[in-house]
Structure 1
Amino acid sequence: MRELLLPAVASGGGRRGKAAESALREAIRSGTLPKNTRLPSSRDLAGQLGLSRGTVTALYEQLVAEGYLLSKHGSGTTVAPLDQPQQATKSPTEAQATWAFDLKPGVPALSTFPRAEWLAYERETLATMSDAELGYPDPAGHPELRAELASYLGRVRALPTKPEDIVITSGAAEALTLLARTLYAQGQRRIAVEDPSHSGQSELFTAHGLRPIGIPVDDSGIQAGLLPDSDCSAVVVTAAHQFPLGVALDAARRRALLAWARETDGLVIEDDYDAEHRYDRPALGALRALEPERVAYVGSVSKVLAPALRIGWLVLPPELRAQVVTAKTLHDLGCAPLPQAALARMLRSGGYDRHLRRTRRLYRPRRDALLDALATTFPGWRPVGIAAGLHVVVRLPEGTDDVTLSADLAARGINAPALATYAHSPASRPYPGLVLGYAALTPDRLRAAVAAMRGR
């Protein structure tokens, strides 16, 4: 029988059980009892300390619950590894919740997600799916979803599409990953990206062996005339609503971009991340409709429904589709069929369109409230870009250090990213600005955020 010396127990007075618990906890914390030390059985320790076996069992259970001990049937009780002090760690979501006002761009109003409708679609789907459909999925995606998406894209994005053109992905990030892997396998090592653009996108390409080459963006969109000097055979564009500047690619630049693709046997990757949210007029049609043999189209539900669903899609030129499907097969054998089939039902029933109409009606007043509050409080700040999407860029007065301003606001609990952080180099920063998301906050909260920016 192993002896366990707990000197504090002797002076524990009438509360010997609690004293033994405290002494054992302190011995583990101090390292007197190192990790993986096997403790006596509850019967043996009760005999050593002159306590009832029930008291020792309760003591062990308490310290197991607190993480100090490990107990496994048949293996006894041992000291748990305590390499760090026992403390609760915050998840990324909890850490984000510390902002008083979170104006991070690209986040929809997650509180509007149609939970009851989505649950009904999933229940209907599960009730009607055949046994065979519960097996390994088609790597290209659920046939019903590809059919419904082809109809939706033709109707909403003026994009004639066949189901066999589409590959379903785990969000837009996997769509870009599959394209990056395919381009790398073809021998490409560089890819042109808009400058400024989302830094995560460039990091993704770098991780898959492609060096991002920034092509400047101005008020007319990407400067396509610079592409021939980039030594790139592929370019990623956000043509309908450039991220982050919020401008639309004008007609002349569209023609120049597609001419470059034809003349160089190049590929345009059209990231159509939030084109459905246009508030003053219909959104520009998709680039792919003009040159389907040269454009790979990327979309997802992340900005309409919720990023957590992880459903995206690629619409591909025929010569690329087979390679991408092979890459998808090797990556994960295909996306989960149940949520795909649920989304297909949502599209077919009109639920997706209804939700989109609801959120458009919600986001326009939020955008207006933010701009009105900024105009009143900061008349020198000028909004940039079209009335669309889930964010707006405000151009600050010349000479303003937007990075310093963003840091000052963060210190006051306001998350307002600096435009400079989206540039690929200090030399390519277009002008000082802030990139402000408005979709997730009510008009009152947006007005309060602007007032907090001023410090009142």
Structure 2
Amino acid sequence: GLYLFRDAIGEAGAGTVPIRIDDHGAVVADLENTIAAAVLLTPAHHFPHGVPLHPTRRTQALDWAKRTKNYVLEDDYDGEFRYDRQPIGSMQGLDPDRVVYLGSVSKSLSPVLRLGWMVLPDSLIDPVLAAAGGQQFYVNAIDQLTMADFIESGHYDKHIRRMRNSYRHRRDALTATLADLDVEISGLSAGLHALIRLPDGTEHEAIRRAADAGIALSGLALLRHPDATAETPHQDGVVVSFGTPADHEFNAALDALHDVLAAVSR
């Protein structure tokens, strides 16, 4: 999971406990063994593994929240970008009283805009507003009104379709460039990142070599919860954000990445 979430939750005075991940997404059955008051999920596209949360797991998570009167925090950080599958509906639509839906334009437009939103259960609206500092009058109204017009006019949908096609080509170029290497690439059916599994003991070397080549990679070690148990052994791998480089730098970045991974694979 994303370490930034753990840091933010910790700074708010709460703690986090890990649950496992497998080919069907988060193992939500692990919630039964915790005293957690909420679970944070990326059900449309798990970060970093890239798998969608299986429908059965979605039902289990909602049943847990309803039975325990807890909450599901649904982070839909890049659900607009899907390539080889149909759209996945939000969990919030299944139980609006128990799910907090989180989204932003950081992936679809730019993180510079600082525009995000929460779709809250009625019972949480006042407490969240109070915790955020009141009615948020200091949020840039011009940016919000411009975004609303962008959506209502249909131009936002057109932009998403155009960028989805562009990122699909980037994804395909990534897999083609690395096709001759003995590495496993996953999480490619949606989103703007890919997970590349590496031979044991090579993750740190890959990140170091990539930095020397001007490429920023995140390792799985950074994303592993510090309280993860021995039953979930560390796997070496790096997260490649193929949506990040500028167009004029993309091909050179791919070639440099290939050289880095070829070196560590040997």
TM superposition score normalised by structure 2: 0.90
How do residues 168-179 of structure 1 correspond to structure 2 at under 5 angstroms?
none
Provide the secondary structure at the position in 1 that maps to 2:170: helix
* Distance in 2 between residues matched to 1:230 and 1:347, nearest whole Å: 41
What per-residue deviation string (whole Å, max 9, x for no partner) do you get for residues 153-177 of structure 1?
xxxxxxxxxxxxxxxxxxxxxxxxx
* Distance in 2 between residues matched to 1:409 and 1:439, nearest whole Å: 17
Q: Report if aligned partners of 1:369, 1:446 keep a CA contact under 8 Å in 2.
A: no
Aligned match for 1:447, one of 248, 254, 257: 254
Equivalent residue letter for 1:312: G
Change (3 A) 1:282 1:334: farther
* Distance in 2 between residues matched to 1:339 and 1:363, nearest whole Å: 25
> What is the match of residue 142 of structure 1?
none
Are 1:375 and 2:179 an aligned pair?
yes
Equivalent residue letter for 1:449: A
> What displacement does 1:411 show?
2.9
> What displacement does 1:404 show?
3.0
Equivalent residue letter for 2:218: P
* Distance in 2 between residues matched to 1:264 and 1:452, nearest whole Å: 50
Q: Could you tell which deviates more after superposition, 198-207 or 323-332?
A: 323-332
Unaligned runs of 5+ in 2: none
> What is the match of residue 34 of structure 2?
230
How do residues 409-428 of structure 1 correspond to structure 2 at under 5 angstroms?
409-425=210-226, 427=230, 428=232
Cα RMSD for the two superposed structures: 1.8
Q: Report if aligned partners of 1:423, 1:429 keep a CA contact under 8 Å in 2.
A: no
> What is the match of residue 325 of structure 1?
129
| Pair member with larger Rg | 1
What per-residue deviation string (whole Å, max 9, x for no partner) do you get for residues 406-452 of structure 1?
12332333322211211013744552111001113345234322343
Provide the secondary structure at the position in 2 that maps to 1:330: coil
Provide the secondary structure at the position in 1 that maps to 2:112: helix
* Distance in 2 between residues matched to 1:409 and 1:329, nearest whole Å: 41
Provide the secondary structure at the position in 2 that maps to 1:338: helix
How many residues align? The count is 256
Provide the secondary structure at the position in 2 that maps to 1:387: coil
Percentage of matched positions with identical amino acids: 36
Unaligned runs of 5+ in 1: 1-196
How do residues 390-429 of structure 1 correspond to structure 2 at under 5 angstroms?
390-397=192-199, 399-425=200-226, 427=230, 428=232
> What displacement does 1:386 show?
4.3
Are 1:384 and 2:189 an aligned pair?
no
Q: Report if aligned partners of 1:215, 1:226 keep a CA contact under 8 Å in 2.
A: yes
Are 1:263 and 2:75 an aligned pair?
no
What per-residue deviation string (whole Å, max 9, x for no partner) do you get for residues 238-273 of structure 1?
000011111110011111111111110010000000
Q: Report if aligned partners of 2:79, 2:191 keep a CA contact under 8 Å in 1.
A: yes
Provide the secondary structure at the position in 1 that maps to 2:130: helix
Provide the secondary structure at the position in 1 that maps to 2:48: coil
How do residues 17-56 of structure 1 correspond to structure 2 at under 5 angstroms?
none
Equivalent residue letter for 1:299: G
Higher helix share: 1
> What is the match of residue 274 of structure 1?
78
Equivalent residue letter for 1:400: G
TM superposition score normalised by structure 1: 0.54
What per-residue deviation string (whole Å, max 9, x for no partner) do you get for residues 209-230 of structure 1?
0111111111111111110211
